[in-house]
Structure 1
Amino acid sequence: MAIKNRPERYGIPAVILHWLIAMLVAVLFPLGLYMTGLDYYHPWYQAAPWWHKSFGLLVAMLLVIRMIWRRITANPHPLPSHQPWEIRLSRSVHWLLYLLLLFTCISGYLISTADGRSIEFFAWIELPALISGIEQQEDIAGDIHFMLAVSIITLTVLHITGALKHHFIDRDETLKRIFGLVTKEKRRI
């Protein structure tokens, strides 16, 4: 497998970044829902938010790396079997997912720093509270964070549905490409 993306498939960094972010989102959403229902005496009352914040910061860093990587190396070309509307929808969903992830991370930061305290990142470093003390910052950012997270999950379901449609109905090479596997189909010109 190549380092850089090629016209027919994704390279190693893009594949790793895609799946790491996907796995983290798959953990963060249920963890976020779970921790909102914890009472003060629950054993996970402090641990769940700590993990959620650390994983959320990791998503933010991986997302920045992914966006830089995307500027350095172009994505594979659409397959000849892809319809123009599918190409436009796919690109729109990808960019919307990136934006939603970015704003979800920002709103999470605003929730966590509303009281002026820094955020601990896996006990390695602390991110200072650069923005705090805004009236109802935690509540407003929390509502936005939740709506963005639900939107991410909704778009992710659309994204997965599209990939499965291409694999099982269209029987094309779309799904293999995000695993970095060689495809037989030639690029669309």
Structure 2
Amino acid sequence: MNLRNSHQQYGIVSIVIHWVMTLLIIGLFVLGLYMTGLDYYHPWYKTAPDIHRSLGIIMLLLLVFRLVWRMVNPKPAPVDNDPEILHKVAEWVHGLLYLLLFAIALSGYLISTADGRGIDVFNWFTVPALVPGFENMEDRAGEIHFILATTLIALAGLHGLAALKHHFIDRDITLVRMLGSSRSMDQ
């Protein structure tokens, strides 16, 4: 398998980034829901948000790398006979997923830096607080963060269902290619 994409298949870099980000996004969502229910005396009250913020910054860095990688690699052609409108919808959904990820990262940044402190990422480096706070910044950004994250998970769920539709109903190799194989379904 090649590192780079071809017009027929995804390269290992694209595949690994896709699945690492999938796990990160699901993990961030679950951890985010979990930590909002913690009381002050819970042992994870401070640890869970620290991990969530650090993983959020890692996700943002991977997202930037993924978009740069996508710009310098060919995009594999669709493998099915769906109408062109469905291909356009898929492109819009992918674009919306990326936009949501950036907006979620920005709102998370605003939550985390509302008190003027930067974000410490696993004691490796600190992302400084660059945006001056405004009234109720943490609460407003928190509401937006939750709405965007919930929307992202719903849209990602539809993305996953579409992949399963390609695999089990259309019986094409769309999903198989993102799992790292270029074999046809007939083999």
Does the TM-score normalized on the shorter chain lie above 0.5? yes
Q: Is the 8 A contact 1:54 1:121 kept in 2?
A: yes
Equivalent residue for 1:3?
3
Q: In the aligned structure 2, how far is the partner of 1:173 from the partner of 1:47?
A: 42
After TM superposition, what 4+ stretches of structure 1 lie above 3 angstroms from structure 2? Answer: none
Q: In the aligned structure 2, how far is the partner of 1:81 from the partner of 1:183?
A: 18
Equivalent residue for 2:129?
129
Secondary structure of the structure 2 residue equivalent to 1:15: helix
Q: Is the 8 A contact 1:57 1:105 kept in 2?
A: yes
Q: In the aligned structure 1, how far is the partner of 2:5 from the partner of 2:82?
A: 19
Q: Is the 8 A contact 1:81 1:172 kept in 2?
A: no
Identity of aligned residues (%): 50
What does 1:160-179 align with in structure 2 at a 5 Å threshold? 160-179=160-179
Q: Is the 8 A contact 2:80 2:172 kept in 1?
A: no
Q: Deviations over 1:149-184 (max 9, x none)?
A: 011001011100100000000100100111221144
The CA RMSD over aligned residues, in Å, is 1.2
What does 1:40-79 align with in structure 2 at a 5 Å threshold? 40-79=40-79
Secondary structure of the structure 1 residue equivalent to 2:120: strand
Q: Deviations over 1:126-171 (max 9, x none)?
A: 1110013211111111011001101100101110010000000010
AA matched with 1:175: L
TM-score w.r.t. length of structure 1:
0.94
Larger RCO, structures 1/2 (Cα 8 Å, 6+ apart): 1
Equivalent residue for 2:28?
28
Q: Is the 8 A contact 1:110 1:141 kept in 2?
A: yes
Equivalent residue for 1:117?
117
Secondary structure of the structure 2 residue equivalent to 1:126: strand
Q: In the aligned structure 1, how far is the partner of 2:172 from the partner of 2:83?
A: 12
Q: CA deviation at 1:3?
A: 1.2
What is the aligned length? 185
Q: Deviations over 1:86-113 (max 9, x none)?
A: 2112111111000000110011001000
Q: CA deviation at 1:82?
A: 2.9
Secondary structure of the structure 1 residue equivalent to 2:132: coil
AA matched with 2:76: P
**Consecutive unaligned residues in structure 2, runs of 5 or more:** none
